[in-house]
Amino acid sequence: MTTDNGGDVRLSGISKTYGSFTAVHPLDLTVPEGSFFALLGASGCGKTTTLRMIAGLEEPSSGTVFLGDQEVTHLPPYKRPVNTVFQSYALFPHLDIFENVAFGLRRRGIKSVKKQVEDMLELVQLGEQARKKPHQLSGGQQQRVAVARALINHPKVLLLDEPLGALDLKLRRQMQLELKRIQTEVGITFVHVTHDQEEAMTMADTVAVMNAGRVEQLGAPADLYENPQTTFVANFLGTSNLIEAAVDGKDGDDIVLAAGGGKLVLPQARCSAPTTTGGKVLVGVRPEKISLTHIDDAGEIPGGRNRITGRIADSSFIGVSTQYVIDSAVCPEFEVYSQNIDRDARLTPGAEVVLHWSPAHTFGLDAAQDID
């Protein structure tokens, strides 16, 4: 249904082929109205092509695009209630910031633009900069002008194609929060393309992780991170410490697995692999979920935890935490991040340790998939 904010964006069986090459395989995707939605993936995975098909800049090879209950599949871009912000801000260098933002209104013949432009400059916190030229602004400010210029025509959907790609890391982080604030304030749907998983997770309510022209997994950032369904998603969103294990049996709602002579427990609900006895499962755990205890103190570890033994191969102090690399029989380079609360508790290379973590922080993946 179409509502004030345009309704959901719905892609149904949308695909794109270039000759014999398929850039986007038939895709069904719903972007909820008013959400901040990220298309995340490595270069060449088809995320920009998908965005351009929503914008009308690319004709789909199959499928339909709906904005609310209006089918827009074959409408030209200017007839869609959509606007796009690109990485290159493409501001008019000879016009000041006010006139850059006013441009869309003037082109539509609207005479009294002052209030609308001022409100929009206020929204992006550039009220003081109205009479400057683009080259007198920082990259982040220029990007905010580009956003204001795209929003002034009241699109129902704002598409953002790597808009922060040209900014340095610090500015990028600031702009992520800024864009999130603007989206919350205007309440329309934002669809944001990025290859940066931290950026997608910081900004978006829902993330679609794309790989080789397909959406591998769709979900809230924390769900994707904590419960990935494929090795690609597990590894793209961070370190996953994959252990090859074999299903030993069941214990209530848990799967019991054998790995390197020990046992690991995995809640059935956190396993996307088949779990027939004897079958292989890749067991993963994020580095910050693991505790380290010196092997001499192993008796103090509470029961009910997954545990494996290893030896510290390397440790890097990075201020807020120490990052350890640990050799173990089940995973050659286990990564563990420990908060630096007690300086004396830091472990040194060569130390024999027990790595232990809660089964609730364990996920299981299909070992038949390739490990990226």
CA angle 171, 176, 179 (to 5 degrees): 115
Nearer to ligand ATP, 42 or 298 (CB): 42
CB of 163 to ligand ATP, least distance (A): 13
Q: Which is nearer to ligand ATP, 45 or 273 (CB)?
A: 45
How far, in Å, CA of 349 to CA of 351, rounded? 6
Is residue 240 a contact point for ligand ATP (CB under 6 A)?
Answer: no
* Footprint (CB under 6 A) of ligand ATP, residues 77-106: none
Q: Cβ of residue 48: shortest distance to ligand ATP, in angstroms? A: 3
| Residue 49 found at the interface with ligand ATP (CB under 6 A) | yes
CB of 209 to ligand ATP, least distance (A): 12
Is 60 a binding residue for ligand ATP by CB under 6 A? The answer is: no
With CB under 6 A as the contact rule, the residue among 41, 81, 163, 284 that binds ligand ATP is 41
CB of 175 to ligand ATP, least distance (A): 18
Alpha carbon 100 to chain centroid distance?
31
Please identify the residue of the shown chain whose CB is closest to the bound ligand ATP. Answer: 48
* Binds ligand ATP (CB under 6 A): choice among 44, 127, 332, 349: 44
Asked if 348 interacts with ligand ATP (CB under 6 A), we say no
Work out which of 144, 172, 192, 195 binds ligand ATP, going by CB under 6 A.
Answer: 195
Residues that bind ligand ATP (rule: CB under 6 A) add up to a total of 12
Residue with smaller CB distance to ligand ATP, 9 or 242: 9
Contacting range for ligand ATP; rule: CB under 6 A; set: 38-46, 67-75, 128-136, 347-355:
38-46
Q: Shortest Cβ distance from residue 197 to ligand ATP (Å)?
A: 13
Q: Which is nearer to ligand ATP, 20 or 348 (CB)?
A: 20
User: Residue by residue, what is the 3-state secondary structure of the chain?
Assistant: CCCCCCCCEEEEEEEEEECCEEEEEEEEEEECCCCEEEEECCCCCCHHHHHHHHHCCCCCCEEEEEECCEECCCCCHHHCCEEEECCCCCCCCCCCHHHHHHHHHHHCCCCCCHHHHHHHHHHCCCHHHCCCCHHHCCHHHHHHHHHHHHHCCCCCEEEEECCCCCCCHHHHHHHHHHHHHHHHHHCCEEEEEECCHHHHHHHCCEEEEEECCEEEEEECHHHHHHCCCCHHHHHHCCCCCCEEEEEEEEECCEEEEEECCEEEEEEHHHECCCCCCCCEEEEEECHHHCEEEEHHHHHHCCCCCEEEEEEEEEEEECCCEEEEEEECCCCCCEEEEEECCCHHHCCCCCCEEEEEECHHHEEEEECCCCCC
Residues 2-31 that bind ligand ATP (CB under 6 A): 18, 21, 23
Is 46 near ligand ATP (CB under 6 A)?
yes
Would you say 43 or 276 has its CB closer to ligand ATP? 43
In the bound state with ligand ATP, the residue whose beta carbon lies nearer, of 26 and 267, is: 26
Find out whether 45 and 162 touch, Cβ atoms under 8 Å: no
Residue 90 CB, nearest distance to ligand ATP (Å)? 17
Indicate the residue among 46 and 163 with the shorter CB distance to ligand ATP: 46
Nearer to ligand ATP, 32 or 44 (CB): 44
Q: Is 38 in the site for ligand ATP (CB under 6 A)?
A: no
> Which of 8, 15, 33, 48 lies at the binding interface for ligand ATP (CB under 6 A)?
48
CA–CA gap between residue 31 and residue 310 (Å, rounded): 45
Q: Which of 217, 171, 209 is nearest to 193 (CA)?
A: 209
Name the site residues for ligand ATP (rule: CB under 6 A): 18, 21, 23, 41, 43-49, 195
